[in-house]
Amino acid sequence: MAGRALRQGMRCGSIHGVVFDAYGTLLNFGVEGMNIAQQAGLTPAEANQVLSCWRQQQVASTWLRNSLDGDHYDPFTKITRDALKFSLLSCGVDIPALEADLMEGFRTASLHEDVLPFLHLISVPKAVLTNGDEAVVSDTLAKRGVEMPVLSASRACSFKPDRAVYQLACEWSSSEASSLVFVSSNAWDAFAASSFGFRVLWVNREATPRVSWPGLEPEWEVPSLVALEGSGNEGGTRTSTAAGGGKGER
């Protein structure tokens, strides 16, 4: 099981560090975003449409920048705001205060309930590897009682899944990728990190269906971090030759 393997790896020294994705993995904006949008007058269906479009445009923008020649890098906060503007326009939502309210909610997102108990189990150095801007993510986590190094993709002037971004974790820990565990709830991130060489824990919070993707399988898959907190029959499975479709990092 994943929890037992992680504990054994930390005890015997084969795991030198644990690196977490931020949005969706540690930080949970989904419920808060729905509340903000509905308080502004949107129906649940309309709110979900806005948030889904926002997430898709945000991630698509980072991937497009990675694929273009030349310098097309923009800070993640700007990309996020531009994606929100696009989403509101595409969904026909004209509520002047909603953009500012959603951006503020994004900056002050709460933790998933399973995060703090799991962090307390980690006995090796830990860090966050995120597309997000370092100051924003550090401040958001600090307000939720989480203090650990934030490795922002901005240091590489690129975004995940660029290998230069994953390499930041190796440089932080002075370790090979195979000695680090990378934790992400985003399928595309988990599989790209596995391809890079990390030992990957995919927290499949949204029960994303898996499709065949040989060679890119995360080592473990769990529905939540709660599955790793027990010392007995914790959940979690080793993946075989299946991989999942991607959800955007938010």
- Is 21 an active-site residue? yes
Write down the H helix ranges in 108-224: 115-119, 134-143, 163-173, 187-196
Q: CA-to-CA distance for 248 and 250, rounded, in angstroms?
A: 6
Annotated catalytic residue, options 21, 114, 133, 162: 21
Residue 83 is given by DSSP the state: H
Yes or no: say if 236 and 227 are a contact pair by the CB < 8 Å rule.
Answer: yes
Yes or no: say if 2 and 236 are a contact pair by the CB < 8 Å rule.
Answer: yes
Element (H, E) at 200: strand 199-203
Q: Does the CA dihedral 153-184-202-61 come out positive or negative? A: negative
Q: What are the catalytic residues?
A: 21
